[in-house]
């Protein structure tokens, strides 16, 4: 982890403890703010312009320095991101979100700066894109590849894949499952913002869990991982990296492009299949996925081109023939 400065570390602790942000989110915001602090030193001539970013010491950034930051400084940073680092609108929008959140914290929560320079900072427009997802046939083939795998971990890997594709859970949610989170046909998971939600398990999930639990019972589990549902061959709770590596391997074995599809795309796939074939109400889908806003869930209402085509074809005017109706 790169050295930072006290106020940034206080802010990161605040995000975790008070706002319930995930470790991944805090890591991204920390990176963005470290980058801004280093840019600030170059932009103000405190260090030579040709100093490599990673060599710029920001441990001396204090309240006095941050109190002198202006909106123009922030705009200069955004322009620099666009020109020198050639960042997309989406990437710049995240950097801006980091700045707005940090300076709001300093001004409104800690009250250590007189004004909030990020108050009027605008984010670039981001075009909405439909989520990438596997087709039903691809999903079925992927599951078969996992089930038939000769690897010693195939019961575990198939179970993880089954939960991803049937329940639409996030990577961190699956990794964090404990055995006592399973109650018959339901599963409690901890999602974003440390919010708990209940997921209902279908027959495929229950069968996969039974097979994995039988295999897990034969393994030597370390004391600190006794509660963990998914464990590694070393008997520890499986890591996020190992889950990603496992899913990537299965995708490759199924002939699926891993430059396009990943663990998160399995979440998109589960949501799309539920919406397309299960005719799940958008509000229910929101609850299943653990989205805070229904607007996030609505991206799945735009992915079913086949349904859109059928809707147009079902219009009573679809078969109107003006020549035929001439008298």
Residue 168 shares a structural domain with residue 85: no
CATH of the domain at 296: 1.10.443.10
pLDDT in tens, 157-188: 999 999 999 888 889 899 999 999 999 999 99
Residues spanned by the domain of 249: 136-304
Residue 247 — pLDDT band, cuts 50, 70, 90? very high
Residue 205 pLDDT > 90: yes
> What are the DSSP calls for 36-103, one per residue?
HHHHHHHHTTSS-TTS-GGG---TT--HHHHHT--HHHHHHHHHHHHHHS---HHHHHHHHHHHHHHH
Return the minimum-mean-pLDDT range out of 16-25, 137-146, 195-204, 256-265.
16-25
Residue 141 shares a structural domain with residue 283: yes
Residue 102 shares a structural domain with residue 143: no
How high is the pLDDT of residue 320? Answer: 59
How high is the pLDDT of residue 11? Answer: 93
How high is the pLDDT of residue 270? Answer: 86
217 in any annotated domain: yes
In total, how many domains does the chain have? Answer: 2
Tokens 């312009």 locate to 49
User: pLDDT: is 230 or 25 the higher one?
Assistant: 230
116 in any annotated domain: no
Residue 81 shares a structural domain with residue 12: yes
Mean pLDDT of all residues belonging to the chain:
85
182 strand-pairing partners: 187
Residue 321 pLDDT > 70: no
Residue 220 shares a structural domain with residue 73: no
Return the minimum-mean-pLDDT range out of 27-36, 110-119, 203-212, 283-292.
283-292
**How many Cα atoms occupy the beta-carbon half-sphere of 280 within 13 Å?**
22
CA 8 vs CA 5, 57, 63: distances in Å: 6, 14, 11
Measured at the alpha carbon of residue 97, what is the angle toward residues 9 and 45, in degrees to the nearest 5?
65
Q: Looking at the annotation, which residues are catalytic? A: 170, 192, 264, 267, 291, 300
């Amino acid at each position: 982890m790169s050295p930072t400065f006290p106020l940034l570390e206080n802010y990161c602790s605040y995000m975790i403890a008070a706002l319930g942000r995930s470790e991944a989110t805090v890591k991204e915001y920390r990176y963005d703010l470290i980058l801004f602090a280093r840019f600030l030193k170059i932009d103000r001539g405190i260090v030579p312009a040709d100093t490599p970013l990673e060599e710029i010491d920001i441990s001396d950034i204090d309240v006095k320095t941050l109190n002198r930051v202006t909106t123009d400084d922030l705009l200069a940073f955004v322009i620099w991101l666009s020109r020198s680092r050639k960042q997309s609108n989406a990437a710049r929008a995240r950097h801006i979100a980091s700045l707005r959140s940090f300076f709001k914290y300093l001004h409104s929560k800690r009250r250590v700066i007189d004004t909030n320079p990020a108050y009027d900072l605008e984010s670039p427009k981001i075009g909405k894109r439909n989520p990438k997802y596997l087709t039903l046939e691809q999903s079925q083939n992927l599951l078969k590849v996992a089930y038939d795998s000769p690897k010693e971990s195939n019961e575990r890997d198939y179970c993880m894949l089954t939960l991803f594709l049937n329940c639409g859970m996030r990577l961190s949610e699956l990794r964090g499952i404990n055995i006592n989170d399973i109650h018959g046909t339901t599963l409690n998971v901890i999602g974003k913002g440390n919010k708990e939600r209940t997921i209902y398990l279908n027959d495929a999930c229950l069968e996969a869990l039974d097979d994995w639990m039988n295999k897990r019972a034969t393994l030597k589990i370390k004391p600190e991982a006794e509660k963990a549902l998914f464990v590694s061959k070393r008997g520890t709770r499986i890591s996020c990296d190992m889950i990603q590596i496992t899913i990537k391997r299965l995708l490759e074995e199924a002939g699926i492009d891993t430059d396009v599809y990943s663990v998160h795309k399995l979440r998109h796939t589960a949501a799309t299949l539920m919406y397309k074939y299960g005719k799940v109400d958008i509000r229910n889908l929101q609850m299943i996925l653990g989205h805070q806003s229904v607007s996030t869930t609505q991206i799945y209402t735009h992915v079913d081109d086949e349904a859109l085509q059928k809707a147009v074809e079902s219009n009573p005017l679809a078969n109107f023939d003006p020549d035929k109706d001439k008298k």
